[in-house]
Amino acid sequence: MGDGAPSLYAWAGEMPAIEHLTAIFYGRVAQDTTLAPLFRDMPPEHPRHVAQFVAEVFGGPKAYTARGGHAEMIRHHLGRHLTETQRRRWATLLMDCADEAGLPSDPEFRAALIGYIEWGSRIAVVTSQQDVPGPDDASMPSWNWGPPGGPYRG
User: So where are the chain's domains?
Assistant: 8-128
| pLDDT higher than threshold 50 for residue 154 | no
Which homologous superfamily does the CATH classification assign to the domain defined by 8-128?
Globins (1.10.490.10)
DSSP codes of every residue in the chain: --TTPPPHHHHHTHHHHHHHHHHHHHHHHTT-TTTGGGGTT--TTHHHHHHHHHHHHTT---HHHHHTHHHHHHHHHTT----HHHHHHHHHHHHHHHHHHT----HHHHHHHHHHHHHHHHHHHHHHT--S---S--PPP-B-S--TT-SB--
Q: What is the pTM of this model?
A: 0.85
Q: Which of 3 and 10 is assigned the larger pLDDT? A: 10
Per-residue pLDDT tens over the stretch 94-133 = 999 999 999 999 999 999 999 999 988 988 888 888 665 5
The C-alpha atoms of residue 39 and residue 37 are separated, in whole angstroms, by 5
